[in-house]
Structure 1
Amino acid sequence: MKKLFAFIWNWVVPIAIGILAYVAITTFWINIVTINGDSMDPNLLDQQKVLVQKTQNVKRGDVVVFDAREEDPRIKTGNKDYVKRVIAVAGDTVSYKNGDLYVNDKKVDESYISSDERNAGTASSFGSSWNLDSLAKTGLWSAEDQKETVVPKDSYFVLGDHRSVSNDSRYFGYIHKKHVIGKIHVPFWYSSTVKNNISKDSDHYFA
C-alpha cells in the first residue's frame, strides 16, 4: 500500500497537475499559433510561431487573431483564423488620403510598415482616398456593416501590415469582439524591431 501511495504521489499527481495546468493555460490564458500567409509580412512571416494571449482588453495598434469564418463571407476553404492589426475601435472614424491613415482625423504613426504599404498598399483596390462610408458602399461588406459610418459597439476595424495582399476590413467590414481569440505576442528571440512593431504602444499610436 505504501508503494502504491508513493507511486501515485510521485508520478500520477504531478502528471495530473501538469495536464490540468496545460489545459488551464491554453484555455484561459495563452496559446501558440502558426502564422498562415503573408498578410502581416514583414513583421510576421508565414509559418512563424507566435504567442496568443486571450484577453478582452484590445487597443488600437494591437495585433490580434480572430475567427475569420464568422467575419469573412469569402473566406477560402481551409482557412480559419486571420491575424491583423487593430486600426480603430468602437466609436472611431477611419479615413485614408494622400498616403496617410487617419483615425478620428488624427494621423496614425505607421512606422511599422514600409512607405510602399502606407501608400500603394493601403490604396490598392480602393483608390488614393477612402473612408468607412466609401468602403461600406463598395457592396463588399455585410448589410449590417454597411449601415455604420463609425466603428460600431464591441467591434474593430483591422488591416494587415502587408496591405497590398491583405484581405482585411477594407474588404469584409468590422470584426466583432466576441470573435477575437486573443492578442499576438512574439517570443523573446525575435528581433527588437519586430517586437516593437507588433507590441505597438497605444500611447504612441498617433504621429
Structure 2
Amino acid sequence: MKKFLSFLWNWIAPIAFGIAVYLAVTTFLVNVVTINGDSMAPNLLDEQKVLVTKTHEAKRGDVIVFDARKEDPRIQAGNKDYVKRVIGLPGDTVEYRDGDLYVNNKKVNESFISSDEQQSGTEASFGSTWSLGTLSSTGMWKQSDQGKTVVPKGAYFVLGDHRSVSNDSRYFGFVSKEHVVGRVIVPFWYSDTVKKNVEKERDHFFATN
C-alpha cells in the first residue's frame, strides 16, 4: 500500500505543481491574447498571438489590452478585449493639429505608423484639428467622460495604430486602469521592426525636433 501511495504521489505531484505554476503565471504574470481585427496593423495583425504581462502603471507608447465591454458602449457582440496604444496618461492634454499629434503641447514621435495614418487616419471622423475637449463634446463618449479636457485620474487615452479603422478613445472616451489586462510583449519570432514599433518606441515617445 505504501509503495502504491508513493507511486501515486510521485505521479500526481509533478502534474499538480505544473498546474499551479501555470495558473500562477497566467493569473499574475503573463497571459496569451489573440489579436482580433486590424486596428493595430501593420504592427500587430488579426489572429496573431501576443504575450501580455500584468502591469499596474502603463507608460505613454505602451500597447495594452483592456476589457472593452466595460469601456465601449457600442462594442460589437462577441468582442471582448481591445488592443490599443497608450497616448495620454492622467493629467495629460492630447491634441491633433497641423498633421501632428501633441501631448502636453509636445509633438509625439509617431515613427511606429505610416505618414498616412499619422495624418488622414488620425483625422478620421473628427477633422484636421481636435482636442480632448472637442472629442468629449461630440456626445459619443461615455457619460462619465463627457466634458473633460484632460485625461482623468486612473485612466488612459488610447489610439490604435491603424487609425483609419480603429475604434478607440476618439470614439468612446478614456480607458480605466481597472479594466487593463496588461501590456503587450511581442514574441521573439516577430520581426525586429514590429518589436521596435510595439515595445522600443515607447522609450522615445516625444519627437526630438
Give yes or no for TM over 0.5.
yes
**After superposition, where does 1:26-175 map in structure 2 within 5 Å?**
26-175=26-175
Q: Give the letter for the 1:15 counterpart.
A: I
**1:37 partner SS:** coil
In structure 2, what is the Cα distance between the partners aligned to 1:195 and 1:152? Answer: 30
Q: How many residues align?
A: 207
Counterpart contact for 2:61–2:203, Cα < 8 Å: no
In structure 1, what is the Cα distance between the partners aligned to 2:90 and 2:18? Answer: 39
Q: TM-score, normalised by structure 1?
A: 0.97
For residues 69-123 of structure 1, the C-alpha deviation after alignment (integer angstroms, 9 at most, x for no partner) is 0000000001011000000100000000111000000000000000000010000
For residues 20-43 of structure 1, the C-alpha deviation after alignment (integer angstroms, 9 at most, x for no partner) is 001111111111110000000000
In structure 1, what is the Cα distance between the partners aligned to 2:49 and 2:61? Answer: 20
2:7 match: 7
Where in structure 2 are there 5+ consecutive unaligned residues? none
In structure 2, what is the Cα distance between the partners aligned to 1:10 and 1:75? Answer: 49
**2:143 partner SS:** coil
Counterpart contact for 1:62–1:200, Cα < 8 Å: no
CA separation of 1:137 and 1:107: change in aligned 2, threshold 3 A: same
Q: State the identity as a percent.
A: 68
- More moved, 139-148 vs 107-116: 139-148
Q: Give the letter for the 1:130 counterpart.
A: W
Off by >3 Å, runs of 4+ in structure 1: 200-203
CA separation of 1:39 and 1:138: change in aligned 2, threshold 3 A: same
In structure 1, what is the Cα distance between the partners aligned to 2:196 and 2:96? Answer: 24
Counterpart contact for 1:100–1:119, Cα < 8 Å: yes
Where in structure 1 are there 5+ consecutive unaligned residues? none
- More moved, 36-45 vs 193-202: 193-202
**2:95 partner SS:** strand
Q: Give the letter for the 1:37 counterpart.
A: G
Q: Give the letter for the 1:169 counterpart.
A: S
1:25 match: 25
TM-fit CA distance, 1:201: 4.6
**2:156 partner SS:** strand
Q: CA-atom RMSD, angstroms? A: 1.0
**1:22 partner SS:** helix
Q: Give the letter for the 1:22 counterpart.
A: Y
For residues 149-189 of structure 1, the C-alpha deviation after alignment (integer angstroms, 9 at most, x for no partner) is 10000100000000000000000000000000000011001
Counterpart contact for 1:96–1:128, Cα < 8 Å: yes
In structure 2, what is the Cα distance between the partners aligned to 1:200 and 1:174? Answer: 24
